[in-house]
Amino acid sequence: MDMLWNGWGDPAKAAPLPDSVTGLLRDLLGVKPRSTPALALEDIRLPGATAGPVALKALALAAGGEEHVRTDAESRIRHTRGKSTPDLLRLRAGDLSDVPQAVVLPASHDEVLAVLRACAAHGLAVVPFGGGTSVVGGLAPERRAFVALDLRRMNGLLDLDPVSRTAVLQPGLRAPEAEALLAAQGFTLGHFPQSFEWATIGGFAAARSSGQASAGYGRFDEMVLGLTLATPEGTIEAGRAPRSAAGPDLRQLILGSEGAFGVITSVTVRIRPLPEVRVYEGWRFASFEAGAAALRRLAQDGPRPTVLRLSDETETLIGLAQPDAIGAGLAQSDAGCQAITGYEGTAEDIARRREQAAAVLRAAGGTLLGAEPGERWAHGRYSAPYLRDALLDAGALAETLETAAFWSRIPDLYTAVRTALTDTLTQAGTPPLVMCHISHVYENGASLYFTVVSAQGEDAVAHWTRAKHAANDAVLAAGGTITHHHGVGTDHRDWYVREAGPLGIEALRAVKRRLDPEGLLNPGVLLPTD
């Protein structure tokens, strides 16, 4: 199944907003219902394609047949941009300025190389396309006719080594399919980001994804042991041992490269035995500061749960920590801050860690709420993007952004980003609701994930862009990184340039020039075009 063309996920899972939330949008934020109906797919008119029959024939030869090159309107529309709020707003308005010339579906590493050669010969840029879940402009290249390189035919489990506990996966394998294939042999990857139902293995590697169980399983880049990269100049094989002192680690150069250096065609990952038991529970803290201190104690001194997250006061009150129960906390005068802890493993191990972690959380001021909040979170943890679509349908602007910093900088970073978003949107006449949670913790720091809801203003895309730029400036000024797990894309590129510094960016440009001398791969994504 393909995702909804102008929204997130499975159309059958879309649901309207509860009346309590609709009233809040109207009364608190001044959100007005949409004045015009959304365009239907069949109403979209595409700009004329510039890829001629000779180029299309070359692509068909490279991909193994004409049936693997799609030029129909629906295929091209479904491969236009990603799933950020600006992406969807522009698509819903009929803006197809970033539409691919064709969608090409190779089935092997060699076919990917052949497609890259064909594109080089005919002056076409290439955008690798996995699940299409980018929310940072990672699928909208700059100023060039391009093809979408859809990797869905490369969706196999190539090898599983139970002794080393490794698996070799193809890049177009969606996360649920990967988990099912591994589970059949008693293993799990343990990577469960909010995009889990639709994102792919190649996308996880290309964007340095981080899953909701990262406290226990680690980030995706920590799971990767080997990679194969197809480039216009040939193939790179990186990683032949768990760790190595053989020079700089090329795996780290490929991870996070977002299709700008090449196309990832296989990923070797660390796997773990399937857990016997999974337990999730909720805790309450009086303040975000107190809850963050408790999370820091567990992250630094243990025992560390598999899942560890904390919602601030606003997110807890609204109920965003449990999307399936959105609005349930509005009647409470003081909801405090809700934390979720989750444990996966053997029954014996879980009992030990829960008992020890509970002692730490109670000593830090936490109150156990029991299993119900944790189970609600686990049941609804992939629902938030559907909620975003419902908010857009209702006429609201809803978007997310994330960052990370060392623990000592988290309080100032939290305040700086909230202030930047609130001030910018309020000055524009649309005071926002700004919510935040910590969802990824480390010994030395943590991530902050913000959700912003406001009225759309006269030009919703421009309206959000101003607020996003202000937040990006605030992130860097407060010592945060411009992205923790969403990636750079085009939305964060100019701030990534500032974060990496001139010499660092020139070094990466030198790599790109060697691997992609014609600048075919995702031009303008990750790095500025020359």
pLDDT at 328 over 70: no
Q: Is 130 annotated as a binding residue?
A: yes
Tokens of 356: 């020890």
Residue percentage of the chain with pLDDT more than 70: 97
Sheet with 307-311, side-by-side order of all strands: 367-370, 277-285, 337-345, 307-311, 433-438, 445-455, 396-406
Q: Is 188 annotated as a binding residue?
A: no
Q: How confident is the model at residue 327 (pLDDT cuts 50, 70, 90)?
A: low
CB 488 within 8 A of CB 136: yes
Q: Is 258 annotated as a binding residue?
A: yes
* Average pLDDT rounded to a whole number, residues 39-53: 85
Least confidently predicted of 29-38, 414-423, 515-524: 29-38
pLDDT (tens digit, 9 = 90+) per residue, 146-175?
A: 999 999 999 999 999 999 999 999 999 999
pLDDT at 232 over 80: yes
* Average pLDDT rounded to a whole number, residues 11-34: 86
- Average pLDDT taken over every residue of the chain: 94
- Cα gap 530→512, rounded to integer Å: 11
* Average pLDDT rounded to a whole number, residues 463-477: 98
Q: Is 220 annotated as a binding residue?
A: no
* Average pLDDT rounded to a whole number, residues 228-243: 97
Query: Mind telling me the catalytic residues?
Result: 449
Q: Is 261 annotated as a binding residue?
A: yes
Residue percentage of the chain with pLDDT more than 90: 86
pLDDT at 46 over 70: yes
Q: What is the model's pLDDT at position 51?
A: 84
Q: What is the model's pLDDT at position 333?
A: 52
Angle at 205 between CA 201 and CA 206, to 5 degrees: 115
Q: Is 134 annotated as a binding residue?
A: yes
Residue 301, classified by CB atoms within 10 Å of its CB into exposed (0-12), middle (13-18) or buried (19+), is: exposed
Angle at 433 between CA 428 and CA 436, to 5 degrees: 125
pLDDT (tens digit, 9 = 90+) per residue, 209-228?
A: 999 999 999 999 999 999 99
pLDDT (tens digit, 9 = 90+) per residue, 330-353?
A: 545 567 999 999 999 999 999 999
Q: What is the model's pLDDT at position 325?
A: 61
Q: Is 128 annotated as a binding residue?
A: yes
Q: Is 336 annotated as a binding residue?
A: no
Sheet with 125-129, side-by-side order of all strands: 69-70, 102-104, 146-150, 125-129
* Average pLDDT rounded to a whole number, residues 65-71: 96
Q: Is 133 annotated as a binding residue?
A: yes
pLDDT (tens digit, 9 = 90+) per residue, 354-383?
A: 999 999 999 999 999 999 999 999 999 999
**Strand, coil or helix: what is 256?**
coil
* Average pLDDT rounded to a whole number, residues 28-36: 84
Q: Is 263 annotated as a binding residue?
A: yes
pLDDT at 266 over 70: yes
CB 280 within 8 A of CB 341: yes
Q: What is the model's pLDDT at position 512?
A: 98
Q: Is 406 annotated as a binding residue?
A: no
- Cα gap 215→278, rounded to integer Å: 14
pLDDT (tens digit, 9 = 90+) per residue, 165-202?
A: 999 999 999 999 999 999 999 999 999 999 999 999 99
- Cα gap 342→321, rounded to integer Å: 14
What is the b/e burial string over 388-420, where b = at least 16 CB atoms within 10 angstroms of the residue's CB?
bbbbbbbbbbbbbbbbbbebebbeebbebbbeb
Tokens of 44: 């979209």
Comparing CA positions, the residue from 130, 143, 438, 142 lying closest to residue 294 is 438
Q: Is 375 annotated as a binding residue?
A: no
Q: What is the model's pLDDT at position 332?
A: 54
Q: Is 262 annotated as a binding residue?
A: yes
Q: Domains in the chain, start-ordered, CATH in brackets? A: 48-150 (3.30.43.10), 157-273 (3.30.465.10), 277-380 (3.30.70.3450), 384-491 (3.30.300.330)
pLDDT (tens digit, 9 = 90+) per residue, 133-150?
A: 999 999 999 878 999 999
